[in-house]
Structure 1
């Protein structure tokens, strides 16, 4: 994830991140990492775009 976030690559998620926050899964840890680095998630019709704001 460091490479994607530092290089400015687009990040898309296939599952709603709100359903996984804090559940202890690896996906949850990735979501938390993104949030800790200033990302928010926009639903784009069933695909979630992680955008740094």
Structure 2
């Protein structure tokens, strides 16, 4: 998966944007895999789970 972030407001620090993006991907992974929020069901982090 490739994520392209465009039109990010100038006041958003890259490290804050990264944290928010990871949280969103964790939530998406939990939804897709049937887990609860912040849960990958199998111990993998969201980026690893979404690549498989």
TM-score, with structure 2 as normaliser: 0.32
Instruction: Give the number of the structure whose residues are more often helix, by fraction.
Output: 2
Task: Judging by fraction of residues, say which structure has more strand.
Answer: 1
